[in-house]
Amino acid sequence: MTDVMVLAIFMSYIGFSSIVGAQLDFISSFEDATILSTHEHTTLQMGFFIFTAYCISGIVFGYVAKKVLSTNNV
């Protein structure tokens, strides 16, 4: 389930960026003189990459362990 968590974090990172952009484009399309100043500071922090490395290493370790156990039980 950890790989699902990584995918959910990454997809929400991408999704929130496009949602904010779409909403700002909609607001700026009005003809009224509106000054709009926003700053999006969404970034993927080091914890995301460490968690992703954990998921990948778990998948690789599971694959290697399965191969080793299947060759030893012949």
Domain total of the chain: 1
Tell me how far apart the alpha carbons of residues 45 and 60 are, in angstroms, rounded to a whole number. Answer: 24
Query: What is the amino acid identity at position 69?
Result: L
pLDDT at 2: 73
- Structural domain of 54: 2-37+45-72
Q: Minimal CA–CA distance to 6: which of 44, 60, 61?
A: 44
Low-confidence ranges of the chain (pLDDT < 50): none
CA 55 from centroid of its chain's CA atoms = 13
In this prediction the pTM is: 0.49
User: Contact at 8 Å (CB) between 24 and 38?
Assistant: yes
